Amino acid sequence: KRATYMALRDKEPISLDGTRIALNINAGLRDDVGMLKLTGADGIGLFRTEFQFLVAATMPGRAGQLRLYRDVLDAAGDKPVIFRTVDIGGDKPLPYFQASEVREENPAMGWRALRIGLERDALMKVQARALLEASAGRKLNVMFPMIAEPWEFDEAKAVFEKQLAFLKDRKKQLPISIRYGAMLEVPALAECLDLIAPRLDFLSIGTNDLTQFLFAADRSNPKLAERFDWLSPAILRYLRRIARQADSLGVELSVCGEMGGRTLDALALLGLGIRRLSITPASVGPIKAMIRSVNLEDISAFMEDHLSSPITDSRTALEKWAQERKIDLG
Ligand code: PEP
Ligand code: MG
């Protein structure tokens, strides 16, 4: 199997009916970037910048951040990298930074990610400067986590634009382009897609957090891990609605949660109209093989039919369908 996936490295992720799917990888460390070459992925769809914070003994400063971002961009070459601003707090507490003054009963729904960044704006300013400087003369893609309402996106973007103006004033070399995106992982944002769409350049669904919030089920609680399935009508219908709306609004949409890295789940995503995935590097081979064995029109028709009256469990139904059609599920 491994050899088969290696052989697929230079093959395109194109479906049987000829649609090119964007296949990116998730990363968080400098060394992960080497996976771009090994897998033949299109780029990095999610660079989790908080990893540097999690492995450090003290808060990383601007110079340390700048060095990492520059190294990552150097190593990625002409493949695009989407940097996500720090997602600390929640399930990723920092020992050297007391995120909240109050004891949090529900840290995942608490003071985390952009909520910290917008209030402790020194943190966000430093990161914005480091990202802008690292991208001098190159393209910068930034993505903000845990956006619940459009104004949070505006404020986060404003922090970057202010730092950009500062660098411009000082005649520093600037990025040749900047694209700003939001993660859709808080269900509320889906109700405001039409409001946020004109302001952003891309949207990426974080199915890990989205599922946790949609089912009100802690993603890190092992007792709940088996209880809810990504292939459930609630998730699938929800994602279908987002995919349709993004399509009609002309918003570039991708999925960067772990769901996209499982062959059967990714097959369902294709059937819902998702055309861009960002996945764990080890999944690129199997997902590419799956894409190359499927006809998108067929899977879309199946999902449509199934979701109109999902009487059997979706996983079993989809598995049966895929086996009958000899879809490569790894
Ligand atoms: C997600 O929530 O789906 C996601 C991609 O981000 P993280 O897993 O880092 O929270
Ligand atoms: Mg998340």
Q: Which ligand is nearest to the CA of 254?
A: 1
Pocket probe mutation, ligand 1, options 49, 143, 183, max atoms within 8 Å of Cβ: 183
Between the CA of 191 and the centroid of ligand 1 the distance, in Å, is: 20
Pocket probe mutation, ligand 1, options 24, 53, 256, 280, max atoms within 8 Å of Cβ: 256
- Cα dist from 29 to 4, 153, 256, whole Å: 27, 25, 17
Indicate if the alpha-carbon torsion angle 209, 214, 216, 221 is positive or negative.
negative
Q: Which atom of ligand 1 is nearest to the CA of 204?
A: 5
Structure tokens belonging to residue 206? 């974080």
Q: Which atom of ligand 1 is nearest to the CA of 205?
A: 3
Strands (E), the chain: 22-27, 44-48, 81-84, 139-144, 177-184, 202-205, 252-255, 276-279
Between the CA of 206 and the centroid of ligand 2 the distance, in Å, is: 5
Whether the complex's predicted ipTM surpasses the cut of 0.95: yes
The pLDDT profile of the chain, 330 residues, written as one tens digit per residue, is 778 888 899 999 999 999 999 999 999 999 999 999 999 999 999 999 999 999 999 999 999 999 999 999 999 999 999 999 999 987 788 888 876 677 888 888 888 889 988 988 899 999 999 999 999 999 999 999 999 999 999 999 999 999 999 999 999 999 999 999 999 999 999 999 999 999 999 999 999 999 999 999 988 888 888 888 899 999 999 999 999 999 999 999 999 999 999 999 999 999 999 999 999 999 999 999 999 999 999 999 999 999 999 888 899 999 999 999 999 999
Prediction pTM value: 0.96
Between the CA of 207 and the centroid of ligand 1 the distance, in Å, is: 7
Whole-angstrom distance, CA of residue 49 vs CA of residue 87: 8
Protein residues whose CB sits closer than 6 Å to any atom of ligand 1: 46, 48, 87, 185, 206-209, 256-257
Q: Which ligand is nearest to the CA of 257?
A: 1
CA dihedral 283, 285, 286, 287 (to 10 degrees): 70
Between the CA of 253 and the centroid of ligand 2 the distance, in Å, is: 16
Ligand 1 atom 10: the closest Cα is on which residue? 209
Q: Cβ–Cβ contacts within 10 Å for residue 71, how many? A: 14
- DSSP state, residue 107: G
